[in-house]
A and B are shown apart, each in its own frame.
Chain A
Amino acid sequence: MLLLPPNADAVIPDKPVKIATKTLSTGGLLLYAIFFGLMAQITLQYFPLNTDVAFLRIKQQIIGLTHYRFAFFVHVYTSMFVLLAGFTQFSPSLLRHSPQWHRRLGWLYVIVVTGLAAPSGLVMGWYANGGVSSRMAFCLLAVLWFWCTLKAVLSAYRRDFIAHRAWMIRSFALTLSAITLRAWKYVLVALLHPRPMDVYRTVAWLSWIGNIVVAEIIIHQIKKK
C-alpha cells in the first residue's frame, strides 16, 4: 500500500502484479502491526505516571528539571497516536472511499507531530545520553521531523498533492525512526556486542538517516512514473 499511487487500479492493469504488490503490502502492514505492538508495550511502562521507571532510571540527574519531565511525558504519551497514522494514511482505498477520514486522521497526525511530539522531542534531544553526538542527532531529527510534516500539510493546503505525498513520506520515515532505532540496536548488539553507549550513539544517527535515504529512493521511484 505504501508504494501504490491513489489511482492504482487505473495505473496497474496487470492482475498478478497487483496481487503480488497487495500481498507485500499486507505483509508489510502486518509487520508494522507487530512493531506497533512492541512500541505500545514500551509506552505502557510509563502508566501510571512514574518518574523512576524504565528509561528514566538512567535519567535521574535531569528528571528533576520540570521542562524535561514535562517534555518526556508529553512525548511518551502522544507518540502512539502518531504511529497510528501508519495504518491508515498510506491506504489508497481509504483515500478513495473516505477522503474525509484521510484528512481527519491526517490533521491528527500533523497536530500531534508539530504541536506535541516534535517539540518535546527537541527538548529531550537536548538532554540525550551519550554526549554531544547523540544530542545533535536527536535535535536534528526533531527539527527535520517538524519541518517535513509542516511542508506536507502546507502542500496539501495548496492542493499540491504530489508534493504532499513526497513530504509525508519523508515525515513518516522520520516517525518510523522510533522503530528502526530499536531494531538497529537489537541487530547491532546481537552481531557485534558493543558497549551500551557506543550502540546508542550509533543508532541515534543510523535510525533516521537510513530511513530518510529509503524515503528519497521511494520518492524518486514514484516521480519516475
Chain B
Amino acid sequence: MKVMYVLLGAGVLLAGCQPSAEQATVEMAPDTVITTTVQPEVSYREVREEEAVGYYVGLFENAPGPNGSYIRSNKITLAIDAMGQGTVTGHSVVAGNARPFTGTYTQEKGKFHVTAKEPGDDPYDGSFVFTIAPDQHRVEGTWKANRTHLKGSEKHYQLARKNFSYDPALTLPKTLPGSYMLDEQGLMIERQGEWIEYDDASGEYESTSEVLTSDILRINPSMQILRPEDVENMYKADLEIIRNAIYARHGYSFKNKRIRHIFDYYVEWYMPVSVDVRTKLTEMEVNNIDLIKRYEQHAHRYYDSFGR
C-alpha cells in the first residue's frame, strides 16, 4: 500500500517536472544570484588634441607592385599642425615635396581618427586616412592618390612621433661605409618596369659605382671649417655624401633619389621637414659646401678622364 503511494507521489512529481514543448521555464527562487564571466569594462581616457600635435616620421610604403615586385619607399614626415573642434590641419614632407592637408577627426577609445585631404591642385595630391595614438606616440594609416592610375597611388604607413631639432654634431652611421653609391641610376634600379635591388654579386652596375669609405665618419662640415687639404684627397662619392649630410641635418627633403635613399634607409636621425633649407645653413656650412663642391665637380669631370 505504502509503495503504491510513493510511486503515485513520484509519478505526480515527475509529471509536474516534465517541461512542455513550447516553453522552457526555469523556475528559480527569488534570491538566486546569477554570476557569468563578463569582460571588465575598459575605460579610455579622454585624450587632448595638444597631445597629438607634432611630427610623425616613418616610411611611406607602397603596396607591392605587379608580380609582387618591391617598389622603393620614401621617408615621410607627417605633421599635425593644429587640431580642435573636429577639424585638423597639417602637412606632409616626402621625396622633396611638402603638401598641406585639412580634414576632420573623431575621438574613440583614446585615439583620434582622421580623414584629411590635400588641396587637389597638384597632380600628386591625395587623401589620408589615419589614426593618431597619443599614448603610443604613433600614427598609422593609408593614403590614396587622387589620380589612381599613377604608380604608387596607394600607400600605407606606421609613423613614430619625433621632434625635429637641428644638431650639427649628428654624424653618419658606422654602417654606411662600405655601401655602394651608384651613378645616376641609384641603389634601386628600375628594369623592365619593376624596381629591383642592386646585386653586388652580379656586379651589374659596377663600372659606375663608388664605395663609400670611412672618411664620411671622420669629417663633419657642420662642425669644422674645412681646408683644401681635408677634401682634396677624398673620393667623389664621399664628398657628395658629406655635403648632402649638411642638408640632411637641417631636415632637407631630397629630390635626388640616390641621396634620398641613403638618408631614408641608413640614417636613423634623418627626418625630412623642409624642401628648402638654404636660408638655414650656417656660414661655416655655406663655405664648406662651396669648397666640397669644387673638389666634387673636379673629381666628377676629371678623375677618370684624360684631363688633369
Contact = CB atoms under 8 A, between A and B. Distances in A.
Interface stretch (A95-103, A110-118, A179-187, A210-218): A179-187
B306 to A, nearest CB: 5
A190 B305 CA distance: 9
Given A195-B233, A196-B232, A196-B234, A57 B306 contact: no
24 contacts: A38-B306, A42-B308, A57-B298, A58-B228, A58-B232, A58-B295, A60-B294, A61-B228, A129-B232, A182-B306, A182-B307, A182-B308, A185-B306, A185-B308, A189-B303, A190-B304, A195-B234, A196-B233, A196-B235, A196-B298, A196-B303, A197-B232, A197-B233, A198-B233
B264 to A, nearest CB: 28
Interface residues of B, number: 16
Contacts of B235: 195-196
A189 B305 CA distance: 9
Nearest to B232: A197
Nearest to B290: A60
A60 B298 CA distance: 13
Interface string B48-89: 000000000000000000000000000000000000000000
A57 B294 CA distance: 6
A-B pairs with lowest CB-CB distance, top 6: A197-B233, A195-B233, A182-B306, A189-B304, A57-B294, A197-B232
Contacts of A185: 306, 308
Interface string A172-205: 0000000001110110011000011110000000
Contact of A57 (B233, B297, B303, B305): B297
B304 A58 contact: no
A129 B302 CA distance: 15
Interface of B: 228, 232-235, 294-295, 297-299, 303-308
B232 A186 contact: no
Nearest to A35: B306
A185 B130 CA distance: 57
A181 to B, nearest CB: 7
A107 interface: no
Contacts of B298: 57-58, 196
Contacts of A198: 233
A55 interface: yes
A198 B297 CA distance: 18
B63 to A, nearest CB: 40
A195 B235 CA distance: 6
Contacts of B306: 38, 42, 182-183, 185-186
A38 B303 CA distance: 16
Contacts of A54: 307
Contacts of B304: 186, 189-190
Contacts of A195: 233-235
Given A57-B297, A190-B304, A195-B233, 19 more contacts: A42-B306, A42-B307, A42-B308, A54-B307, A55-B308, A57-B298, A58-B294, A58-B295, A60-B294, A181-B308, A182-B307, A185-B306, A195-B234, A195-B235, A196-B232, A196-B233, A196-B299, A196-B303, A198-B233
